[in-house]
Chain A
Amino acid sequence: MVEGKLRSRTFRRIKVKTPGARVTVHYRRRKPNFAECGNCGVRLKAVPRALPFELKNMPKSAKRPERPFGGVLCSACMRAEIVARVRND
C-alpha cells in the first residue's frame, strides 16, 4: 500500500512500464485549470496549462500574448477596455 497522501486523488496516476516489463503506477501532480478571462470568463488561448516548474523554464512570450492585459483579459475584453478608457478621457 502506498503512503497516505498518494491514496487520495490529489495526484494523477500514470502507468509506467519498467525495464523488467512490469507495469507500475507512478503519481504526478495534476495540471492547473485553464486560464480564464478576468472579465467574461472565456478560456484564454496561448496561455499554457503547465505546472510552475514548467513555466519557470519557458520564455515570457510563450506564457501569455504580447499585448496589454495579455494573459489576463481576452482580446475582445481588452479592446473594449481600451476603447472605454480612451472615450472617458
Chain B
Amino acid sequence: MIDVGRLCVKIAGRDAGKKCVVIEVLDNKFVLIDGETRRRKCNIIHLEPLDETISVEKGVSHIAVVDAFKKLGIELVEQKSKKKTVRPRTLRRSKLAEKPAELKATLVPKPSTKDVTSVVANVEKSPVAKKPRKKSVEKAVEEKK
C-alpha cells in the first residue's frame, strides 16, 4: 500500500491532517515524505494512505513535488524562515575608535548623557521644602546629642 508516489495524509504531530507523497521507502518502518508537510522521515503508522498516486521518481526534489501537487490542484505555500533584522548596535566612543573602518559604518555611538545630567542638576538645585520632622524623632535626635 505504501510505496513511492503514494499520496497520504499525515495523522500525527503538527503536520497532522496535511497531504504528502511518499518519496522514498527507507525500510519496513520508515519512509521519506514531502508535500504540504515538511520534507522528513516518517513512520508509516503515522500515515493514512489515500487512493491516489502521483508519478514521481524515488527521491525527487522538493521543486518537483511542488509541481506534482499543482497538477492535483494543491498549491504549496513556501514557508521561509524569518530573516534577522540588522539593528544598529550602540558602542562606547572609546571602543569605536579601536574598531576597523568597515565596522564603523554599522555601529552607532551611544547618545551622549551630558544633556541628561544638566537637567538633573537643575532639578536638584531647585528649592524643595524639607519635611518637618516628627516630634518623636526630634526628641530622639536631641537625646543623642
Are B13 and A67 in contact, CB atoms less than 8 angstroms apart?
A: yes
- Give the contact stretch, choosing among A10-18, A32-40, A51-59, A78-86: A78-86
CA A82 to CA B14, docked complex, whole Å: 13
Write out the residue numbers on chain A whose beta carbons fall within 8 Å of the beta carbon of B12: 67, 75, 79
Residues of B within 8 A of A78 (CB): 11, 16
Contact status A67-B48, CB under 8 Å: no
Assign chain A's interface to a size class. Answer: 10 to 19
Chain B residues near A79 (CB-CB < 8 A): 11-12, 16
Q: Does B9 contact A (CB under 8 A)?
A: yes
Q: Does A3 contact B (CB under 8 A)?
A: no
Contact A82 B9 (CB under 8 A): yes
Majority DSSP secondary structure for residues of A touching B: helix
Q: Using a Cβ–Cβ cut-off of 8 Å, how many residues does chain B contribute to the interface with A?
A: 9
Q: In chain B, what residue has the closest Cβ to A65?
A: B14
- B9: which A residues are within 8 A, CB to CB? 82, 86
Mask, B114-141, CB within 8 Å of A = 1, is: 0000000000000000000000000000
CB-contact partner of B17 in A75, A82, A87, under 8 A: A82
CB of A68 within 8 A of CB of B16, answer yes
Q: Which residues from chain B contact A66 at a C-beta distance below 8 Å? A: 14
Among B16-64, those with CB < 8 Å from A are 16-17, 48, 50
Tell me the residues in window 41-89 of chain A with beta carbons closer than 8 Å to chain B beta carbons. 66-68, 75, 78-79, 82-83, 86-87
What B residues does A68 contact at CB under 8 A? 16-17
Contacts of B11 in A (CB 8 A): 78-79, 82-83
CA gap between A66 and B12 in the complex, in Å: 11
Chain A nearest CB from B80 CB (Å) reads 19
Cα(A83)–Cα(B14), bound, Å: 15
Residue of A nearest to B50 (CB): A86
Closest to A84 in B: B48
Q: How far is the CA of A75 from the CA of B11 in the complex (A)?
A: 9
Bound complex: CA A52 to CA B14 (Å): 25
Known: A82-B16, A82-B48; 13 extra A-B contacts, CB below 8 A, are A67-B12, A67-B13, A67-B14, A68-B17, A78-B11, A79-B11, A82-B9, A82-B11, A82-B17, A83-B11, A83-B48, A86-B50, A87-B48
